[in-house]
Amino acid sequence: MIQTIDLRGHKPSPSELSDLVPRSLTDVSVAQLAAQELIDDVVARGEQAILDQALRFDGVAPASIRVSQSEIDDAVAQLDPAVRTALESAIDRVRKATRAQVPPPTTTSLGPGALVEQRWQPVDRVGLYVPGGKAVYPSSVVMNVVPAQVAGVSSIALVSPPQKQFGGSVHPTILGAAGLLGITEVYAMGGAGAIGALAHGIPSLGLDPVQVITGPGNVYVAAAKRIVHGRAGIDSEAGPTEILIIADDSADASFVVADLVSQAEHDELAAAVLVTDSARLADSVRSLLDDAARSTRHADRVAVALDGVQSAIVLVDDLAAAADFSNAYGPEHLEIQTSDPDALLPAIHSAGAIFLGAYSPVSLGDYLAGSNHVLPTGGQSRFSSGLGAYTFLRPQQVIRYDSAALREVSGRIHALAESENLPAHAEAVAARFESTDR
């Protein structure tokens, strides 16, 4: 079912490793033309375009694109008690962990009267996308909303595709999660058109443009985020989910199998990768994986994902080679199931989130670890991070110099300005002392 990549006895160069890592064949660029047309349609025709797109892609047009407050309140009241308790716990834990991501303002003194302050200002308004395809993701409401609230964002709009089984409204569990968080601005819209609506606004709906758009979605959502980036900030171009597990001979094969299957159930393009220096463990995982995949509820989806080019069991000579492979891959989720996970941690440079030890599965991070599950995919963790309060914060520098402090550095400013052939820069400083120097 799952391919094997045997790298034992071979030490690939960094460029070779980049070519060897298994990847989904998904290419966001192939969806850009279609996404651009949908966005242009929304800009031109506003809410009618949203209604037409909903009918075309979701099979139903919402009676009202803006969800009423009474519907949100009803969804909260009708939440399954166990789900509500779990959501409230997730909200609390994510809020506590996210508070550590907001730096305090600091001031650096560079001399008498020479101060540079660092402050982190939240954006004013954000748009949060919650998908509604193969599954319902109330946890994504939590993971998107809480960091924005902790950052201090004052205006939050949430969009999610209309659901045919609920008369074209947003799924009630999504609405319930939004209501628990105090979100009052919710729209039944999805896909590339929804991203365009958030970036450009729809005046007839009272939907004002946002400054930052976050949240995962399909390839058209990812393409739309690429298109609007510049008009609004984005978190990342989220692709199919992925897990990479580094495990040695001490790992429990049944745990490894369960975690590979848990990610494969998301999507046929989901990536499930085991990297190990133990041939025994690889054989054990392979022998257990077929039965586990067949017996799970979404067996067909899991089988396609595990059989895809993006999934593999990778054999390496040692854990150092495993870390090198993982860093080249840059996984969304990295599990380390070894006899001493902390010893390997310093060798890990690129990962969206790292789960240490046998009892820190990715499922924990998806819901109740307190960490955020909106993470970079497709190798983007090599240069970017997951969603956090910092996604909605802008670091700003505040400069405070008095006359004496400016005079003290004026000669050096003059020298650098002349070296760059920008004499007016030097003159702007000199002008402040002309009356006192006469």
Q: CA 307, CA 74: separation in Å to the nearest integer?
A: 43
Beta-carbon contacts of residue 206 (< 8 Å; ≥ 6 apart): 66
**Could you tell me which of 182, 234, 228, 236 has the C-alpha nearest to residue 201?**
228
Beta-carbon contacts of residue 69 (< 8 Å; ≥ 6 apart): 184
**Could you tell me which of 238, 249, 245, 250 has the C-alpha nearest to residue 262?**
245
120 token code pair: 């982190």
- 118, burial (CB in 10 Å: exposed 0-12, middle 13-18, buried 19+): middle
Cβ atoms < 10 Å from Cβ of 290: 14
The backbone torsions φ and ψ at residue 373, rounded to the nearest 5 degrees and listed phi first, read -100, 0
Q: CA 417, CA 262: separation in Å to the nearest integer?
A: 60
> Please, what is the Cα angle at 54 between 51 and 55, to 5 degrees?
90
> What is the set of active-site residues?
332-333
Give bridge partners of residue 364 from the DSSP assignment: none
Cβ contact 198:210 at 8 Å: yes
